[in-house]
Chains A and B, each alone.
Chain A
Amino acid sequence: MTLNEVIEILDADVLVGQDQLEMEVKTAFGADLMSDVLAFAKSGSLLLTGLTNPQVIRTSDILDIAAIIMVRGKKPAPETIRLAEELRIPVLSTKYILFETAGRLYEKGIKGCVERVDNNFARS
Chain B
Amino acid sequence: MHVHEKPTFESNYTVQGGNFDEAGKVASQIKVILKKLGLQTDVVRKAALVAYESEINIVSYARKGTISISVTPGQVKIETTDEGQGIPDINLAMQEGYSTATSKIREMGFGAGMGLCNIKKFSDHFQITSEIGKGTHLKMIINIENGV
Contact = CB atoms under 8 A, between A and B. Distances in A.
Interface in B75-117: 96, 107-110, 112, 114-115, 117
A120 to B, nearest CB: 6
A49 B121 CA distance: 24
User: Secondary structure of the B side of the interface?
Assistant: helix
B41 A59 contact: no
A18 B118 CA distance: 34
B33 to A, nearest CB: 13
A64 B45 CA distance: 8
Contacts, number: 72
B109 A62 contact: no
Contacts of A43: 41, 45
Nearest to A49: B109
What interface size band does chain B fall in? Answer: 20 to 34
Interface residues of A, number: 26
B107 A120 contact: no
Interface of B: 21, 23-25, 27-28, 31, 41, 45, 48-49, 52-53, 56, 96, 107-110, 112, 114-115, 117-118, 121
Given A35-B110, A59-B52, 7 more contacts: A35-B112, A35-B118, A38-B52, A38-B118, A39-B121, A58-B24, A59-B24
